[in-house]
Amino acid sequence: MLWKKLFTPVENLEAHEVRSFMASHKEGDYTLLDVRQPGEYEEAHLPGAKLIPVPQLSDRLDEIDTGKPVVVYCAVGGRSRAAAQLLAGKGYEEVYNLKGGIKAWEGKISAVPVDLGALALTGQETVSDVLILIYAMESGLERFYQFAAGQVADPGVKDLLEKLAGIEAKHKVRLHGLFSEMNPDLEAEDRFEKAATSAVMEGGFDMETFLEQNLQVMESASGVLDLAMMLEVHGLDLYLRYAREVESKQGKETLYQLAEEEKAHLRALGELLEKQV
């Protein structure tokens, strides 16, 4: 399994490039996919766009033709980029993300979320190596929620972010247990933590840098929620992809359970974002 392929980022298109793409393709020959919340869609959307909110995306893939190009967009490009990566991992060969989202399309100035970036993997990683990477991602999510909770004033948003930080901490415990089961000779938690830290540095993503780069986006509750959903989609994508590679029944069940919990997180975040519209 060449893990590197799973982290190849999809192509980002500027608004004028999406306009050119649409002008050069007949209606019905491609899918224009809006992954925002229903309230956002009702307020404004691109003509002909199909709405599948990102919390529902993994369960509604049968509504998207795998044989047609897909152009994905959201509000500012964060959720859609993660959604496009998820689609690419599911076998959609031609997927594009509208950089800057509908705000860029409308010519509105907006802070564009900076992603964690692609992982610089060698292609030789084992399933245990990937579990370490997932653990590192969960550590990053926990850190994000802790930081974000201190940035927002809305008590409802703050409460959810604090709860999600606690859930990510529990995810780490479960992942460590699964890793220990697969590697009984590597049971020391500090050794596992060091491996996860090393994976973050070598893989090319760092949560502290991510937070620093997205401070402007996080000035509003909606921006925080948008970033949170982008990160949760990445987490969901990782669990769904790697569950297929784990041979043990318990390992598969654990990863699929974690994937379902990420979906629940996305639904909760989406409901709160809907209230911000």
Kindly report the CATH number assigned to the domain that includes residue 67.
3.40.250.10
Q: Is the pLDDT of residue 172 over 60?
A: yes
Over pLDDT 70: what percentage of the chain? Answer: 83
Does 122 reside within a domain? no
What secondary structure does DSSP assign to 127-193, as a single string?
HHHHHHHHHHHHHHHHHHHHHHHTT---HHHHHHHHHHHHHHHHHHHHHHHHHHHH-TT---HHHHH
Are 32 and 132 in a shared domain? no
Q: Which residues pair with 170 in a beta bridge?
A: none
Whose tokens are 């919390």? That residue is: 55
Element containing residue 12 per DSSP (H, E): strand 11-13
- Two structure tokens written together for 76: 């500012």
Are 133 and 268 in a shared domain? yes
Q: Is the pLDDT of residue 9 over 80?
A: no
Does 118 reside within a domain? no
Domain boundary among 105, 137, 165: 105
Q: What is the CA radius of gyration of the chain?
A: 18
Give the chain's domain count.
2
Q: What is the pLDDT of residue 182?
A: 77
Does 164 reside within a domain? yes
Q: Is the pLDDT of residue 2 over 60?
A: no
Does 14 reside within a domain? yes
Does 272 reside within a domain? yes
- Would residue 74 show up in a list of annotated catalytic residues for this protein? yes
For residues 229 and 218, what is the distance between their CA atoms, to the nearest angstrom?
A: 13
Q: What is the pLDDT of residue 134?
A: 81
pLDDT digits over 208-249, tens only? 888 888 888 898 899 999 999 998 998 888 888 888 777 778
Q: What is the pLDDT of residue 115?
A: 63
Does 112 reside within a domain? no
For residues 178 and 92, what is the distance between their CA atoms, to the nearest angstrom?
A: 30
Are 159 and 192 in a shared domain? yes
Does 113 reside within a domain? no
Kindly report the CATH number assigned to the domain that includes residue 206.
1.20.1260.10
Residue 119 or 192, more confident: 192
Are 76 and 166 in a shared domain? no
| Contacting residues for 70 by C-beta, under 8 A, at least 6 apart | 30, 31, 33, 64, 84, 87, 92, 94, 95, 96
pLDDT digits over 113-149, tens only? 666 554 544 556 677 777 787 888 888 889 999 999 9
Are 36 and 167 in a shared domain? no
Are 86 and 170 in a shared domain? no
The single residue of 74, 149, 164, 178 carrying the catalytic annotation is: 74
Q: What is the mean pLDDT of the chain?
A: 84
Are 177 and 232 in a shared domain? yes
Q: What is the pLDDT of residue 197?
A: 62
Does 206 reside within a domain? yes
Are 180 and 267 in a shared domain? yes
pLDDT digits over 69-111, tens only? 999 999 999 999 999 999 998 889 999 999 999 999 999 766 6
| Contacting residues for 89 by C-beta, under 8 A, at least 6 apart | 6, 237, 240, 241
Start-to-end CA distance of the chain, whole Å, equals 42
Q: Read off the pTM.
A: 0.84
Are 81 and 174 in a shared domain? no
Q: Is the pLDDT of residue 46 over 70?
A: yes
Range of the domain at 21: 3-105
Q: What is the pLDDT of residue 240?
A: 86
Are 164 and 246 in a shared domain? yes
For residues 50 and 31, what is the distance between their CA atoms, to the nearest angstrom?
A: 7
Are 63 and 137 in a shared domain? no
pLDDT digits over 264-275, tens only? 999 999 999 988
Q: Closest Cα partner for 3 from 134, 184, 198, 172? A: 134
Residue 153 or 124, more confident: 153
**Dihedral angle of Cα 158, 164, 168, 173, to the nearest 10 degrees:** 110
Are 266 and 178 in a shared domain? yes
